[in-house]
A and B are shown apart, each in its own frame.
Chain A
Amino acid sequence: MNAPANERERALMGMGESRLRKEDARFIQGKGNYVDDIKMPGMLHMDIVRSPLAHARIKSIDKSAALAIPGVHAVLTADDLKPLKLHWMPTLAGDVQAVLADEKVHFQMQEVAIVIADDRYIAADAVEAVMVEYEELEPVVDPHAALLPGAPVIRDDLAGKTEGVHGARVHHNHVFRWEAGDSAAADAAFATAEVTVKQDLPYPRVHPCPLETCGCVAAFDPIRGELTTYITSQAPHVVRTVVSMLSGIPESKVRIVSPDIGGGFGNKVGIYPGYVCAIVASIVLGRPVKWVEDRIENISTTAFARDYHMTGELAATADGRITGLRVNVIADHGAFDACADPSKYPAGLFHICTGSYDIPAAHARVDGVYTNKAPGGVSYRCSFRVTEAVYLIERMVDVLAQKLGMDKAEIRMRNFIRKEQFPYRSAFGWEYDSGDYHAALEKVMGAVNYRELRAEQATRRADPDSPTLMGIGIVTFTEIVGAGPSKMCDILGVGMFDSCEIRVHPTGSAIARMGTITQGQGHQTTYAQIIATELGISSEEIQVEEGDTSTAPYGLGTYGSRSTPVAGAAIALAARKIHAKAKKIAAHLLEVGENDLEWEVDRFKVRGDDAKFKTMKDVAWAAYRQPPAGLEPGLEAVHYYDPPNFTYPFGAYLCVVDIDRATGETKVRRFYALDDCGTRINPMIIEGQIHGGLTEGFAVAMGQQMPYDAQGNLLGNTLMDYFLPTAVETPKWETDFTVTPSPHHPLGAKGVAESPHVGSIPCFTNAVVDAFAHLGVTHMTMPHNAWRVWQQLQQVDRPVEPR
Chain B
Amino acid sequence: MTTKKRISVEINGRSVEREVEPRMLLVHFLREELSLTGTHIGCETSHCGACTVDIDGSSVKSCTHLAVQCDGAEVLTVEGLADRGTLHAVQQGFYQEHGLQCGFCTPGMLVRAYRLLQENPDPTEDEIRTGMSGNLCRCTGYQNIVKAVRWAADTLKAQAAAPNASAAAAAAPAVTA
Contacts and interface: CB of A to CB of B under 8 A. Distances in A.
B103 A262 contact: yes
A718 B176 contact: no
B110 interface: yes
Interface string A115-135: 000011110010000000000
B139 interface: yes
Contacts of A691: 140-144
Interface string B125-151: 000111011111111111111100000
B63 to A, nearest CB: 10
A688 interface: yes
B138 A21 contact: no
Contact of A733 (B37, B43, B79, B141): B141
B75 interface: no
A396 B143 CA distance: 32
A520 B141 CA distance: 13
A209 B98 contact: no
Contact of B42 (A28, A39, A212, A733): A212
A29 B28 contact: no
A154 interface: no
Nearest to A696: B138
A691 B143 CA distance: 7
Nearest to B131: A727
A288 to B, nearest CB: 14
Contacts of B138: 209-211, 263, 265, 692, 696, 724
A719 B102 contact: no
Nearest to A30: B38
B98 A211 contact: no
A719 B141 contact: no
B45 A29 contact: no
Interface in B118-177: 128-130, 132-146, 173, 175-177
A728 B136 contact: no
A63 to B, nearest CB: 19
| Chain B interface main SS type | loop
A719 B45 contact: yes
Contacts of A36: 31, 37, 40-41
Contacts of A540: 176
Main secondary structure of the interface of A (DSSP, over half): loop
B97 to A, nearest CB: 9
B75 to A, nearest CB: 13
B140 A24 contact: no
Interface string A539-564: 01000000000000000000000000
Contacts of B31: 36-37
Nearest to A689: B101
Contacts of B71: none
B47 interface: yes
A720 B47 contact: yes
B146 A727 contact: yes
Interface string B63-94: 00000000000000111011000010001001
B46 to A, nearest CB: 9
B95 A730 contact: no
B177 A26 contact: yes
A262 B100 CA distance: 11
Contacts of A212: 40, 42, 102, 104
Contacts of B142: 691, 695, 726-727, 730
B23 interface: yes
A29 B103 contact: no
Given A718-B43, A719-B136, A28 B104 contact: no
Given A210-B138, A691-B140, A727-B145, A28 B45 contact: no
A22 interface: yes
Contacts of B134: 726
A596 interface: no
Contacts of B110: 28
Interface residues of A, number: 60
B155 to A, nearest CB: 14
Nearest to A262: B104
Interface string B21-42: 1011000100110011111111
B138 to A, nearest CB: 5
A575 B42 CA distance: 39
B139 A520 contact: yes
Contacts of B38: 29-32
B32 to A, nearest CB: 8
Given A29-B87, A728-B130, A733-B143, A520 B102 contact: yes
A254 B21 CA distance: 37
A211 B103 CA distance: 10
Contacts of B176: 22, 25, 540
A718 B95 contact: no
A519 B104 CA distance: 10
A34 B143 CA distance: 25
A339 interface: no
B133 to A, nearest CB: 4
B133 A263 contact: no
Interface in A96-126: 119-122, 125
Interface in A219-234: none
B98 A21 contact: yes
Interface in A13-31: 20-31
A726 B94 contact: no
Contacts of B175: 20, 24-25, 28
Contacts of A37: 31, 37
B106 interface: yes
B79 A29 contact: yes
B48 A724 contact: yes
Contacts of B44: 294-295
Given A120-B28, A211-B48, A724-B138, A27 B43 contact: no
Contacts of A28: 78, 87, 91, 94-95, 100, 103, 106, 110, 175
Interface string A287-309: 00000001100000000000000
Name the residue in B21, B35, B106, B110 with the highest tally of chain A Cβ atoms < 10 Å from its Cβ.
Answer: B106
A727 B129 contact: yes
Contacts of B41: 36
A521 interface: yes
A37 B35 CA distance: 8
A457 B97 CA distance: 36
A521 B101 contact: yes
A295 B45 CA distance: 9
A338 interface: no
A485 to B, nearest CB: 29
Contacts of B129: 726-728, 730
Contacts of A294: 44
Contact of B101 (A29, A121, A522, A733): A522
Given A26-B103, A519-B102, A724-B47, 9 more contacts: A20-B175, A22-B176, A28-B95, A30-B107, A32-B106, A121-B1, A263-B101, A521-B101, A730-B142
10 contacts: A20-B98, A23-B177, A28-B95, A29-B82, A32-B38, A34-B104, A211-B50, A688-B140, A691-B141, A695-B140
Interface of A: 20-32, 34, 36-37, 39, 119-122, 125, 209-213, 260-263, 265, 294-295, 519-522, 540, 684-685, 687-689, 691-696, 718-720, 724, 726-728, 730, 732-733
**Can you list the 4 inter-chain pairs with the closest CB atoms, starting with the nearest?**
A30-B38, A262-B104, A27-B103, A520-B102
